[in-house]
Amino acid sequence: MDSLHLRTAGTSLVISFNSGEAEIIHWGADLGEAPMPDLAILDEPIPNSAVDANVPAGLLPQASSSWRGRPALRGHRIADGVSGLDFSARLRTVTATLEGNSAVIVQSDPDAGLTVSSSLALHDGGLLELRHSVTNDGVTPYQLDELATVLPVAPDAVELLDLTGRWCRESHPQRRPIQQGTWVRTGRHGRTGHDSSLLFAAGTAGFGNRHGKVWATHLAWSGNHEHFADSIGDGRTMIGGSELLGPAEVILEPAASYTTPALFAAYSDRGLDGISEAFYSWFRARPHHVLPAAGGGKPRPVVLNTWEAVYFDHNLTTLIELADSAADLGVERFVLDDGWFRGRRHDHAGLGDWYVDESLWPEGLTPLVDAVTSRGMEFGLWVEPEMINLDSDIARAHPEWIVGPAAASHKDGGRLPLEWRNQHVIDLVNPDAWQYIFDRVDTLLHENNISYLKWDQNRDLTEHGHAGRSSVHEQTRAAYRLFDELKKSHPGVEIESCSSGGARVDLGILERTDRIWASDCNDALERQTIQRWTGLVVPPELVGGHIGPTTSHTTARTHDLSFRAITALFGHFGMEWDVRGVQGAEREELKRFIGIYKEHRGLIHSGRMVRADVPDESLMLHGVVSQRPAAPGEAAALFALVSTKTAFAEQPGRITVPGLEPECTYRVEAIFPAPGDADYAHNFTQVQHPAWLVAGAVASGRFLAEVGLPMPILNPEHALLLKATEVEA
């Protein structure tokens, strides 16, 4: 069978069938249009004390080929009360078809009664999408324990980078050398998890933002999962991921199938920015993306969320005052957060009772919705449909709808998991519970002029079971179905995935939602790291970034408005703040900044993300560069210069500004904060500005990328917004 070659956007993927099974023998740099040589030239030598044959690193690595690493398929057949049968499949290629840059490969083991179909698509921007589907061809049940999607990386990939974190500190990087053995990142949260590795990357030594080769993967799944790197004794390394299945969660009856979550993967020879380009290209090419490439998408509106403004204190007069203040500032979407439904005065009660609280809202939400929409803003509402409080009418009426490890409800002696934020999980695998939740949210959307749902999920799914059996897999699928059906019924409503901040951020949920909440932390210093690494995969138009109060609710750290604003700019911008109290010069500064966002959001939400490799770890320079020719006077790029802490040196020296067209000439100028802004004087610790800062600098893109500009000496935890405009040479 002839090999398959998929290639686009500087990436090639070559699949050989010489061993009888499918094997990816190259995933990396583009190999060009030349025909493939006879791939037998790649047969390896056979060492002493080893199997007497070449061992393929298969598309589905398997022990039947003497692969000594982690196998892709694990499971066994159950027949006549005996388990453990057909534990080692010998899958061999049956068919392989190629259409454009998409391939379908079918491998089968008739003796074991198993067939695996693998679909691969290399998208135009270079992002690879891979998934497997296993079918039980036998006449007895087959228990599936794992089906992983894996890819080989080149021998010069010697470092691993993945992400970790916790509540209010999501998406922080960690690095380690690739060593013999298996490095596994496991998520057992029943959701993606605050500590989830949004990206799992292998690369050449010291790879950075703009340099080095990188091979990176992401598993598009919102339940339990694993990411891993598997390096075996012969020097080969595979990276990949899989859904982490609970005990007997997937038992395939005869003719039944299981399909893996998609593994998305990208290769770059230009560092991590090249990985981001591949992911952003895929996101923005989707027909349902919030800003479709073909046009017609509306700009991402300025948001005001009420949580850190009023918390549970819902009072119509106060909220209308807040709406008045928001409209005056230029807010375009007003979101009422937690506290509007029956019994919800605190977080101990009410979850599951998705009825407007008549004691708070005797006329329903209509007076507030009308007040908001009459002021030219959309109305949004917070919900948490997957959760339930024991102190709720629905929990009292249906204790059997509460998830737990026992088959019996807690009212009948069954044990419940420990509470988390005073709440439990409603069993969406139960069709009656699923229908109740769908009907309540559907009714809310039909009865109210709601344009946006902030959909929260505030706890892990611990000891998660249905009818006494592990059920995270089915719960995740049921939640997906809930999103899908509500979207189908209300196609104009946008949904945000919030999960106590960034605990459900993955491409599985992002196929069903219109943005994610990266963190419950609005502290600008923390957000610089959180947003930088979340943005490695997720483009800024899908990442909510808000200005919080002057003193952070979650860290008690105090920051000037300009630092908070510049941090929030490079996302879907909004505020979570009682803006009624913002007056005088600070209010004028905030209004001006909202105008800056509105002027430049088209660029921020369509441009190419650029992150400089700055030697001084106290400084960051990042921004977006337009991917189309800018009109006269229009910004070609925006950059943020950010000081996160005191520097070792007394001045930053020249910082290069990458990503601009080398042969074009640009004017670079600082646009925020300006001398008239309320906190401008706090920004710098210097006797004199660098010469260019007052009137701007004119230089070629090549000069800016190679020589750079001497940057001002920023105080710690301050930032400066720079604009680059193309000018005549």
The residues annotated with a catalytic role in the active site are 456, 520
Q: Identify whether the C-beta of residue 423 lies closer than 8 Å to the C-beta of residue 351.
A: yes
Q: Identify whether the C-beta of residue 130 lies closer than 8 Å to the C-beta of residue 262.
A: yes
Q: Identify whether the C-beta of residue 258 lies closer than 8 Å to the C-beta of residue 147.
A: yes
Strand-pair partners of 144: 75, 250
Task: Name which of 339, 366, 369, 337 is nearest 353 in CA terms.
Answer: 339
Residues with Cβ within 8 Å of 716's Cβ and at least 6 positions away in sequence, in order, are 618, 643, 644, 645, 646
Q: Identify whether the C-beta of residue 388 lies closer than 8 Å to the C-beta of residue 363.
A: no
Q: Identify whether the C-beta of residue 45 lies closer than 8 Å to the C-beta of residue 68.
A: no
Specify the DSSP element, H or E, that contains 302: none
* CA angle (33, 38, 40) in 5-degree steps: 135
Strand-pair partners of 266: 216
Q: Identify whether the C-beta of residue 220 lies closer than 8 Å to the C-beta of residue 261.
A: yes
142-147 and 149-153 beta bridge pairing = unpaired
**Assigned token pair, 675:** 């001398």
One-letter amino acid at 273 equals D
Question: How far does CA 227 lie from the centroid of its chain?
Answer: 15
Task: Name which of 539, 526, 536 is nearest 570 in CA terms.
Answer: 539
Task: Name which of 560, 477, 481, 478 is nearest 524 in CA terms.
Answer: 560
d(CA 705, CA 460): 45
Distances in whole angstroms, Cα of residue 410 to Cα of each of 353, 396, 397, 400, 432 = 19, 11, 12, 8, 18
Q: Identify whether the C-beta of residue 132 lies closer than 8 Å to the C-beta of residue 155.
A: no
Alpha helices in 608-682 (DSSP H): none
Alpha helices in 359-410 (DSSP H): 366-374, 393-397
| 437 phi and psi angles, rounded to 5 deg | -65, -45
Q: Find out whether the peptide bond into 673 is cis, omega within 30 degrees of 0.
A: yes
**Adjacency order of strands within the sheet including 142-147:** 82-85, 73-79, 142-147, 250-252
d(CA 241, CA 493): 32
End-to-end, the C-alpha distance of the chain in Å comes to 56
* Cβ-based burial of 44 (10 A; exposed 0-12, middle 13-18, buried ≥19): exposed
